[in-house]
A and B are shown apart, each in its own frame.
Chain A
Amino acid sequence: MSAVEAAVPAVAAAPSRAGTGRFLRSELDMVFRRRRNQVILAVLAAVPILIAVAVRLAAPPEDPADGPPFLYGIAGNGVFVALTALTVVLPLFLPLAVSVVSGDAVAGEASLGTLRYLLVVPVSRTRMLLVKYVAAVAYCVVAALTVGAVGAGIGALLFPVGPVTLLSGAQVPLGAGLVRVGLVALYVAAMMAGLAAIGLFVSTLTESPIAAMATTAVLAVTSQVLDSVPQLDWLHPWLFSHYWLDYGDLLRDPIAVDGPARGLLVTAAYGLVFGSLAWSRMTTRDVSS
């Protein structure tokens, strides 16, 4: 008797965890094996290569204030290619990439009609949103790390590398410098994860993936435009893009956490708000596509 009773809940509970893992793997597979998303990663990876080759072929700028931040340092230390590239892709390229993946998340399935078949499998709407969001965040992390890693690699190939001089003036060994670059990439990925939450919400509003992608990208650009208008400085702390470049503190010795922590907090708040909006929209909408 007891054996039979024990067997019933075991059978019912066992598939649940493995099941979500399988679905997440399938979703990651969908995102990363999609040709379009691979091309976007390749374009992002081309940015540090372009920067490195350009600096190698041309004379380094005479004034450190010329060009994007960190550019001046490249000739002296190839590691700075990674930081320059991350800074260059941050305003537009990276947000565009994240807009494509997160905007497509639900709207893409809706436009194909595969959304209804996922829901009748059944996949609970909450579980689907979570899996879609985790996959989009994974794409943010891979994209930022790709730019950083390709930047460090091409920098090492074309320029001398060595101990890294931080913004505070202190020098740290190469290994520690690379860790700092990794931290910057992860901070950038976290900022993009906030944008991905906005994209996911927009994606639940429409059956047109293109519209969702464009809307998300426009929101990212608008936030930066508003952030650049001094008359709106009361608004700036509330803009999600306001903190995107606040990774400078990660390049000081010792690491200052105030700036990045504020950025992460605001981004987490955006993620929470838009994640909740996406959830409330997703769990109440009629799927008629």
Chain B
Amino acid sequence: MTTVAAPAAAAPAPAAVAAPAVTTSGLAKRFRGGQLAVAGVDLHVPHGSVYGFLGPNGSGKTTTIRMLLGLVAPTAGTHTLLGRPMPASAAEVLPRVGALVEGPAFHPHLSGQRNLARLDAADRTADPATARVRIGTALDRVGLSAAAGKRYRAYSLGMRQRLGIAAALLQPRDLLVLDEPTNGLDPQGTREVRALVCALAADGVTVLLSSHLLSEVEQVCTHVGVMHVGKLVAQGTLDSLRQGRAPRVSVETADPAAAIRALAAQGLSDVDTDGRVVSALLGTAAPEGVLAGLVRAGVPVRQFTLDAPALEDVFVSLTGEGFDVSG
């Protein structure tokens, strides 16, 4: 009986840790020129999620990230990082946050290693005794060990981006804020960054990943927020966003006219044809039943597919003109 008490006493600790990694409430920024870059954003990044922060260039993503990290003072609104109010708790929260903001930036005349040593020296919470090991590990993790002693000036765009990610990994982090982390990387590098993000997420790190490319975040994210002209137009799990759009069935057949009749007879709406392919909104019908109905009606079915709504379409519908520059 007495042994039961011990785990119960320890229980509140995980609950405290599981506070949302990022919350914002009415966060807004009006620049001195009068331009409203961010107009009342309510972000909610759950603990342990990989949050894809999407939006066209100029939609206010980077300004939002700068406000999250305390670089830019919000005009209105409040926010928390790892459950603590910002910017009041910056000194205790930011050491647990790794960040890549609007591309890498380092001293060109210093080597990659010495640039990281400089950042590590500025961190009061960093243990100087382990600096060399931590810097080596971070460089190794992004595949830069061989170029560690090279001057930053001589780095390619991809190497610079990797060094930026290495800087975010100098310490164990609870939250990583990565703004366009695969900018300038080749396909191989993009895959590596994706694998790295997955590995970090598996370790329990919350990742806020901003991008203007849907394809980049779709494969790694659990949650998505979509910015458009300074506003957060959608936010939630990937699945909840997909459900915003109804699935369709499509039938490839030699007799489109019969297929159209059969689909309409089953009560499917928005029946449309494109030559030999007939499609319709599935609605509440079961796709298996629809196929059986087609066969019963004597429609020669060559191929039957259920089109899961493409996320791309969801985003295009949210951001209007698509992923071009907005504002």
Contact = CB atoms under 8 A, between A and B. Distances in A.
B107 A117 contact: no
B35 to A, nearest CB: 12
A186 B66 CA distance: 43
B107 A116 contact: no
Contacts of B97: 120
Contacts of B325: none
B153 to A, nearest CB: 11
Interface residues of B, number: 33
A22 B128 contact: yes
A19 B105 contact: no
Contact of A22 (B102, B109, B121): B121
Q: Which of A22, A23, A113, A284 lies at the interface centre, i.e. has the most chain B CB atoms within 10 A of its CB? A: A22
Interface in B51-86: 63, 66, 69-73
Interface residues of A, number: 28
Nearest to A111: B105
A120 B123 contact: no
B21 to A, nearest CB: 15
A115 B123 CA distance: 14
B167 A117 contact: yes
A15 B90 CA distance: 16
A18 B128 contact: yes
B287 interface: no
Contacts of A228: none
B119 A287 contact: no
Interface in A105-135: 112-114, 116-124
A121 B105 contact: no
Interface string B171-187: 00000000000000000
Interface string A244-265: 0000000000000000000000
Contacts, number: 87
Contacts of B102: 113, 116
A30 to B, nearest CB: 7
A117 B126 contact: no
Given A26-B121, A121-B119, A113 B91 contact: no
Given A114-B106, A116-B105, A19 B123 contact: yes
A20 interface: yes
Given A120-B70, A122-B94, A287-B71, A35 B128 contact: no
Q: DSSP majority for the B interface?
A: loop
B85 to A, nearest CB: 15
B124 interface: yes
Contacts of B107: 30, 112, 114
A118 B117 CA distance: 12
A287 B121 contact: no
A113 B105 contact: yes
Interface in A5-63: 15-16, 18-20, 22-23, 25-26, 30, 34-35
Contacts of B126: 15, 19
B101 interface: yes
A231 interface: no
B124 A114 contact: no
A287 B124 contact: no
Contacts of B117: 26
A122 B124 CA distance: 8
B103 interface: yes
A288 interface: yes
A113 B66 CA distance: 13
Contacts of B73: 284, 286
Nearest to B131: A22
B222 to A, nearest CB: 24
Nearest to B115: A114
Interface of A: 15-16, 18-20, 22-23, 25-26, 30, 34-35, 112-114, 116-124, 284, 286-288
Given A15-B127, A116-B101, A123-B122, 9 more contacts: A20-B124, A22-B122, A117-B101, A119-B71, A120-B69, A121-B94, A121-B122, A286-B73, A287-B72
